[in-house]
A and B are shown apart, each in its own frame.
Chain A
Amino acid sequence: MKYDVILAGVGGQGVLSVAAVIALGAMRDGLLVRQSEVHGMAQRGGAVQAHLRLSDCTIVSDLIGKACAEMILSMEPIESLRYLEYLKADGIVISCSDPVKNIPNYPELEDIYARIRALPSSRLVAGGQLAQTAGSARATNMVVVGAASTRLPVKEQSLLEAIEHLFSAKGEKIVEINRKAFALGRDSTA
């Protein structure tokens, strides 16, 4: 089994935390993981991506090849369309619907939604709103993980444990908000 995920977003949105939770959860399930990250200049409000590869056999490349990804998981709508060349024909795009308009030529949002909906398989998630409901807009990235969780080859319990592990240093309250954000994201796909 091999499962490749392209994670996308804008620098500062918590893309690396999304990668970390899924990677940690997958390892709890005994899978091998490679997680390639973007550091440095590109992190400053620019487009960022991470390649996450889950497998039950050896992974040789840190990068995912074109047409190999089972999923594009994005924190931002136009970023979800930037890496489509990496998506398998039957792969899915899951994106948070909240735009980050830090560029002057941001396209018409409804057009972007229409393009995402027109893909063979896609889901838009009201990440910001669900995160607010959970207790903090900062937990948007865990809503997105929740929304992806029904498709990922990782047990729900393992992902929840990963969230607990990752956020435990920040206190029980933050863990609870993130667990709730995850649950709301997961329920939104039901």
Chain B
Amino acid sequence: MPELVLLGDEALAMGAIDAGISAAYAYPGTPSSEIMEYLQGAAPRYGDFVAEWCSNEKTAYEAAVGVSLVGRRVLVSMKHVGLNVAADPFINSALLAIHGGLVLAVADDPGMHSSQNEQDSRFYADFARIVCLEPRNQQEAYRMTLEAFELSERFHIPVMLRLTTRIAHSRAVVQTGERRAQNPLSKSEAKAGWMLLPATARKLWAELLEMQGQFLEYAESSPYNTLEVNEAFSDFGVITAGLGWNYYMENVEELPVRPSHLHISVYPLPVQKIRRLAGRVKRIVVIEEGFSFVERTLLGILAPQLPISGREDGALPRTGELTPDNVRGILGLGAKKGVESAGADIPGRPPQLCAGCPHRDSYDALNLAVRGFEHKLVTSDIGCYTLGYLPPHQAIETCLCMGASVGMAKGAAQAGFHPAVAVIGDSTFLHSGITPLVDAVASGADMTLLILDNSTTAMTGGQRTILSSSRLEKLVLGLGVDPEHVKLIVPLKKHTEENAAIMRREMEYEGVSVIIALRDCIQTLKQKRKKEAGR
């Protein structure tokens, strides 16, 4: 079997290739981006599947459903908060008569390394009442992807693969196998199975509920959900889920006795296995990466039969990632201490905008433009430019979700606040900023939108944007913004005062104005130049 050194993300992508996908869709987002990057890197070698970035996670998911409808296998990948954007097609697609295997790979970011929350996608799988698989290592990421496609076609449901940051971005050797042939083109014959009119949807929903027993049977018998019983020890039993297994196993050698242990990698929760464990122990310890999904289910609302310990009772940290160290306390193991160095604390080194980044010059001009207003509101969005909240710029005040800057400025303006300025990147604008701008134009809101167009999706590694910069201005004009108040500027140090004056004038204009600050991301530019020099 061939061996490859792969990130968890890449192992999943390789699994999808070997599962015989015909297409893959995604929107970039840490820690999921490397799935599509790997597929795009590999696609030319195979030459027989599509691997594309889309405008956002919702459009990616909808394209994936279309592939499934005509019988072919498809992977759609995103980060956890991306699934909020794709939640509508995702939840509804659980009712559809999924035909070609449809697998959703979603990468959660506990600890919020590069995200605005640490939501746990297992709740989404449960919400949609579908099957979820959660690999512990890179090899499982590969194998489970193959299995997810089989399940999707066996049960006619979308299947979720849940990754978390540490497996997504950790490398190990992965053994790969044979590649399955792609499905032939064959449009689904389940006509009512793709139509969510109330009458048909009611029937499909009842069918999905009917299927739950089969999903449970699968989870109960899956070799990924392993129960090891120690008859001789009943003080406590351990349930691990996801990477909780890794950190438990890292410490288990230090325990005087090995407790009974159930590991859960396949959902819905294996009820019988949990009951078998609970029947043998006086207390249950739950170590799961992410939210307390397993623990809260066990706790319920009425008093549980056994004491249950985990994140909910504070025996594990309530927030953030698990580590080999922070699971020691709940196991009764003492803290480990490394080397110390006497002296002042080492100063933090937060991330910052690169030297030569166009956003720096845009923010200098913006700060100059708003100077003199008694009050000002600058909403913003998600990307490298969110770092403009930090010193030295401190130019922006909000970050909620993709595209929110536009709608929030519109709302504040309609509430009577002036000046209301929104700052958004080009890729974020194309993802979710267009529709709120349509709203703003429709209501004639007195706001100014500053689009920081660096011609790339910079934060996640410089993926190509869905629309080239040359077409952005036409798009804005097409939405009905007054051409007199659509301005193009070049954010360079030498233009700061001139750019500030343009911004100031547009803020003073009563109505919707849009300023596009156009200059290439310095990182993308460097790569482009390197490539050109290499040629």
Contact of A34 among B33, B171, B343 (CB under 8 A): B171
Residue interface bits B456-476, CB-to-A below 8 A is 1, else 0? 000111000000000000000
Q: Does residue B197 face the partner (Cβ distance < 8 Å to A)?
A: no
Contact between A87 and B348, CB atoms less than 8 A apart: no
- The answer to whether residues A85 and B341 also contact, given A61-B247, A65-B325 and a CB cut-off of 8 A, is no
Q: Which of B126-134, B228-236, B349-357, B406-414 contacts A (4 or more CB under 8 A)?
A: B349-357
- The answer to whether residues A62 and B337 also contact, given A32-B173, A34-B172, A36-B170 and a CB cut-off of 8 A, is no
Q: Which of A98-106, A126-134, A144-152 contacts B (4 or more CB under 8 A)?
A: A98-106
Contact between A61 and B324, CB atoms less than 8 A apart: yes
B residues within 8 A CB of A67?
336-338
- The answer to whether residues A87 and B324 also contact, given A60-B246, A62-B167 and a CB cut-off of 8 A, is no
- The answer to whether residues A41 and B113 also contact, given A27-B173, A78-B347, A88-B338 and a CB cut-off of 8 A, is yes
B residues within 8 A CB of A135?
none
| Distance (whole angstroms) from the CB of B459 to the closest CB of chain A | 6
A residues within 8 A CB of B255?
none
Contact of B351 among A23, A36, A41, A115 (CB under 8 A): A41
Q: Does residue A64 face the partner (Cβ distance < 8 Å to B)?
A: yes
B residues within 8 A CB of A118?
341-342
Contact between A46 and B349, CB atoms less than 8 A apart: yes
| Distance (whole angstroms) from the CB of B163 to the closest CB of chain A | 12
- The answer to whether residues A44 and B353 also contact, given A39-B461, A78-B347 and a CB cut-off of 8 A, is yes
Q: Does residue A63 face the partner (Cβ distance < 8 Å to B)?
A: yes
A residues within 8 A CB of B336?
65-68
Contact between A38 and B351, CB atoms less than 8 A apart: no
Contact between A44 and B352, CB atoms less than 8 A apart: yes
| Distance (whole angstroms) from the CB of A136 to the closest CB of chain B | 14
Query: For the complex, what is the distance from the CA of A37 to the CA of B7, rounded to whole Å?
Result: 9
B residues within 8 A CB of A91?
338-339
| Distance (whole angstroms) from the CB of A44 to the closest CB of chain B | 4
B residues within 8 A CB of A78?
346-347, 349
Residue interface bits A71-113, CB-to-B below 8 A is 1, else 0? 0000000110110111111010000000000110111000100
| Distance (whole angstroms) from the CB of B12 to the closest CB of chain A | 15
Interface centre among B5, B172, B344 (most CB of A within 10 A): B172
> 9 tightest CB-CB pairs across the interface, nearest first?
A40-B114, A40-B30, A46-B351, A65-B324, A62-B170, A85-B338, A44-B351, A36-B170, A47-B349
Contact between A115 and B169, CB atoms less than 8 A apart: no
Query: For the complex, what is the distance from the CA of A11 to the CA of B114, rounded to whole Å?
Result: 14
Interface centre among A24, A27, A51, A62 (most CB of B within 10 A): A62
- Is the contact region of chain B dominated by helix, strand, or loop, or is it mixed? loop
Interface size class of A (residues with CB under 8 A): 35 or more
Contact between A23 and B347, CB atoms less than 8 A apart: no
Contact between A36 and B169, CB atoms less than 8 A apart: yes
- The answer to whether residues A33 and B114 also contact, given A40-B459, A44-B353, A66-B325 and a CB cut-off of 8 A, is no
Query: For the complex, what is the distance from the CA of A11 to the CA of B348, rounded to whole Å?
Result: 13
Q: Does residue A43 face the partner (Cβ distance < 8 Å to B)?
A: yes
Residue interface bits B128-147, CB-to-A below 8 A is 1, else 0? 00000000010000000000
Contact between A42 and B351, CB atoms less than 8 A apart: yes
Q: Does residue B108 face the partner (Cβ distance < 8 Å to A)?
A: no
Query: For the complex, what is the distance from the CA of A46 to the CA of B336, rounded to whole Å?
Result: 27
- Can you give 28 contacting A-B residue pairs, CB < 8 Å? A33-B173, A35-B170, A36-B166, A37-B170, A37-B171, A40-B114, A41-B114, A44-B353, A44-B387, A45-B353, A47-B348, A59-B172, A60-B137, A60-B245, A60-B246, A61-B250, A65-B250, A65-B251, A65-B324, A66-B337, A67-B336, A67-B338, A78-B349, A82-B346, A85-B337, A89-B338, A91-B339, A106-B347
Interface centre among A45, A46, A79, A115 (most CB of B within 10 A): A45
* Chain A stretch 143-179: residues in CB contact (< 8 A) with chain B: none
Contact between B347 and A107, CB atoms less than 8 A apart: yes
| Distance (whole angstroms) from the CB of B294 to the closest CB of chain A | 20
Q: Does residue B400 face the partner (Cβ distance < 8 Å to A)?
A: no
Knowing that A10-B349, A81-B346, A102-B352 touch, tell me 5 more A-B residue pairs with CB under 8 angstroms: A38-B113, A41-B30, A60-B249, A62-B243, A63-B323
Contact between B341 and A43, CB atoms less than 8 A apart: no
Query: For the complex, what is the distance from the CA of A87 to the CA of B172, rounded to whole Å?
Result: 23
B residues within 8 A CB of A46?
349-352
| Distance (whole angstroms) from the CB of B360 to the closest CB of chain A | 12
Contact of B339 among A10, A34, A44, A84 (CB under 8 A): A84
Contact between A33 and B250, CB atoms less than 8 A apart: no
* Chain A stretch 2-52: residues in CB contact (< 8 A) with chain B: 10-12, 23-24, 27, 32-47, 51
Query: For the complex, what is the distance from the CA of A64 to the CA of B352, rounded to whole Å?
Result: 27
B residues within 8 A CB of A86?
338
Contact of A39 among B114, B346, B384 (CB under 8 A): B114
Contact of A84 among B170, B245, B340 (CB under 8 A): B340
B residues within 8 A CB of A39?
30-31, 33-34, 114, 169, 461
Q: Does residue B415 face the partner (Cβ distance < 8 Å to A)?
A: no
